[in-house]
Amino acid sequence: MRAVVMHRYGAPDVLRLEDVERPVPKEDEVLVKIHATTVTRTDCGVRGGKPFISRFFTGLRRPKQPILGTELAGEVEAVGAAVSEFAVGDHVFGASAWRFGAHAEFICMRENAPLAHMPAGMSFEEAAAVCDGAILALMGMRPANVRKGQKILVYGASGSIGTAGVQLAKYFGADVTAVCNTKNIELVRSLGADRVIDYTKEDFTKNGETYDVIFDFVGMLSFSQCRASLKPGGIYNPTDGLQNIILAPLTSRIGGKRVIFPIPPRYMKKDVLFLKELIEAGRYRAVIDRSYPLEQVVEASRYVETKQKTGNVVLTVGGA
């Protein structure tokens, strides 16, 4: 099968389209023929070996997993003897987090992995763009107990996690202020934001408004920057920043305002099933910026690294 392979860390040019051995499913696994996948911030970070400390998990001198890609949508090609939930021909979507391997024509996943039947009426491209951003957003929403009556702010509201975060926060009943750039204001409004701040024209930390929760979904802020914009007992929830590993337990003991930093991310089947229900109920949609064929993964990765993408960047596989 064809797969995008990297044998060393570096710029997008280290990615190569190669022929590799097709995986064979174990008795509790399904073999999925991938029709669409995505290029995420995580893919780019792992490929670049940054931050360096991450190499203690991904491979110190060279990548342990040469095939990147965490999100996928496709068709079940074969099933192991013990599999009962899926059958050959089923259309499925999900996430192969931490194992990666989705930038390829085929992947094996366990039956109990974050994998589910695709929502009715959804394309492979749309389904591939659902899980990563939405599950990461859910990981912040749940410990913050986002609920009706809360005022929350979503910083980075037009990215993969941010577009998911706005929709999920509205589903949970919160009053949502979204922060994005000028070109994405109408998009973010269409996702349900109650108000939108253009960060190129206004600094939300200086307008006097306070929030129950501030989500920093692009890792551009800090707790000290946001502290004055939090209500008493308010929560700051970032997606990046090694300093937050220390601040999370420290602020839980000292002072009313605190940092939550749920790591490592956990991807579970129940979350994929929850998202499937929301999509079929018309309460959630995946936002796609651009779509590239697998052969153009270098160009797709370069675009993701500009940090200007809106929503998700999709790779189509095998002419899907």
Encode pLDDT of 118-159 as tens digits: 999 999 999 999 999 999 999 999 999 999 999 999 999 999
Name the least confident of 42-46, 98-102, 114-118, 243-247.
Answer: 243-247
Q: String of b and e for 46-57 (b: at least 16 CB within 10 Å)?
A: bbbbeeeeebee
What is the residue type of 147? R
pTM of the model: 0.94
Q: How confident is the model at residue 266 (pLDDT cuts 50, 70, 90)?
A: confident
Q: How confident is the model at residue 91 (pLDDT cuts 50, 70, 90)?
A: very high
Is the fold of 2-132+267-316 the same as that of 144-259? no
Q: Compute the distance between CA of residue 310 and CA of residue 8 in angstroms, rounded to an integer.
A: 28
Contact 161, 136 (CB under 8 A): yes
Residue 157's pLDDT is what? 98
Q: Compute the distance between CA of residue 2 and CA of residue 69 in angstroms, rounded to an integer.
A: 14
Contact 15, 315 (CB under 8 A): no
2-132+267-316: CATH topology: Quinone Oxidoreductase; Chain A, domain 1 (3.90.180)
For the domain made up of 144-259, the CATH class stated in words is alpha beta
- How many residues appear in the chain? 320
Average pLDDT for 13-36: 98
Contact 295, 316 (CB under 8 A): no
Residue 52's pLDDT is what? 85
Residue 51's pLDDT is what? 81
110 pairs with which residues across the strands?
A: 29
CB neighbour list of residue 31: distance below 8 Å, 6 or more residues apart:
23, 24, 25, 76, 77, 78, 79, 106, 107, 108
- CA-closest candidate to residue 100, choices 57, 61, 134, 142: 57
Average pLDDT for 163-171: 98
What is the residue type of 237? N
Q: Compute the distance between CA of residue 97 and CA of residue 137 in angstroms, rounded to an integer.
A: 15
Residue 311 is given by DSSP the state B
Q: Compute the distance between CA of residue 228 and CA of residue 217 in angstroms, rounded to an integer.
A: 19
Q: Is the pLDDT of residue 301 over 80?
A: yes
- Give the start-to-end residue ranges of the domains of the chain: 2-132+267-316, 144-259
Average pLDDT for 241-249: 81
What is the residue type of 67? I
Phi and psi at residue 158, in whole multiples of 5°? -105, 0
